Structure formats: structure tokens, C-alpha cells
Amino acid sequence: MVVPCPFCNALHFPGESLGKSCCHKGKVVLPPLAHYPPELEELMVGASPEAKNFQQDIQSYNESMAFASMGAQVEAPGSGPYCFCIHGQIYHLTGALHPLEGQPCQFAQLYILDPAAANAERLAAGENTGCLPSIMATLDAAIRRVSPSVTAYQQM
């Protein structure tokens, strides 16, 4: 994707018709995206060992910080290139504010805990063995600072 749309600068593949699939030839104008927190930008584009770890395990970090999981009826792929097809409505699954007895906290439940306890729970999950505690703490602090959802869950 190296060819910019002359109207919105969205990147397209060579040979793709410009302006039709992105902005209707300049008819749709979106407000500029807000900058993400500076510590996240360093992790996204930096070259430090922490940034490399973040870029390598970004899916684990992303899932660790999620407030809910997504649910949908997913259709089995047919022949040809794999395509993620959803039938019906997309919904988000949230649980109770506290986990069941003996179960670990997950999703939004983690934002009710003290940050250190929440990060310890996240790092104890088997899928996060490659994640660094310092990055988990950075992400948790940034989300607690900028997300109105954290405040809403803590008030509940």
C-alpha cells in the first residue's frame, strides 16, 4: 500500500481506484486522530529492547488490556483464501464485576484491582510468559489515565 489518495492520503495498492473506497473522493472528511499517549508511541515505533518486546508480543499485551471479549457466530472458512466471516450481530462479553470463587480476574475486573495486583494477574496468565512487567505497568497506567471506562468500572 504505497499510493496515497489525492483527497485523504489513505494508502492504496497500485492499480486500485483512488478515492472511491476511502473517502468518496473527498466527500467524507474525518477529524484527525488523537495522538496516543507518548509512552505508547515509544513502544509502537521505538527500537529499545522494551519496544521490541512490545512489538513482538503486541497481541498478548492487547488481549491483557481488553475490557471485554468479542462474541459472534463465526462461519467456517470455505475454499480459497481465508476470510474471517461473521454471521449475525457482533457483541461484547462482559462478566460480573468480581470473578467466581477460585477464578482469576479478567477483562474489566482487572481495572477494579490495585494496578500492581492487576498486572500480577495478567503476567500469571500462561499466554503472557513473554511479556515484561515494566511494559504491563506502563500500559495499565496509561489506560487508567486516559480511559473513561476505567473510571466507570471503579465507580460501579
Q: Is 142 in the site for Zn ion (CB under 5 A)?
A: no
Site for Zn ion in 12-51 (CB under 5 A): 19, 22-23
* Phi/psi at 90 (5° precision): -85, 140
Minimum separation from the CB atom of position 35 to Zn ion (A): 22
Q: Which is nearer to Zn ion, 5 or 131 (CB)?
A: 5
The set of cell numbers assigned to 69 is 471479549
Tell which phi-psi region holds residue 91, choosing left (phi > 0), alpha (psi between -120 and 50) or beta: beta
Choose which of 1, 2, 4, 5 interacts with Zn ion (CB under 5 A): 5
Minimum separation from the CB atom of position 22 to Zn ion (A): 3
Following DSSP, what letter does each residue of 17-34 receive, concatenated? PTTTSSSTTTT--PPPPP
Q: Near Zn ion by CB under 5 A, which window of 11-19, 85-93, 103-111, 119-127?
A: 11-19
Minimum separation from the CB atom of position 3 to Zn ion (A): 11
Minimum separation from the CB atom of position 1 to Zn ion (A): 13
What's the rounded Cα separation, in Å, for the pair 38 and 45? 11
Minimum separation from the CB atom of position 62 to Zn ion (A): 27
C-alpha R_g of the chain = 20
The set of cell numbers assigned to 31 is 477529524
Q: Near Zn ion by CB under 5 A, which window of 10-18, 33-41, 62-70, 119-127?
A: 10-18
- Is residue 155 within 8 A of residue 56, CB to CB? The reply is no
Q: Is 7 in the site for Zn ion (CB under 5 A)?
A: yes
Q: ∠ CA 95-148-54 to the nearest 5 degrees? A: 80
Q: Is 108 in the site for Zn ion (CB under 5 A)?
A: no
Residues that bind Zn ion (CB under 5 A): 5, 7-8, 10, 19, 22-23
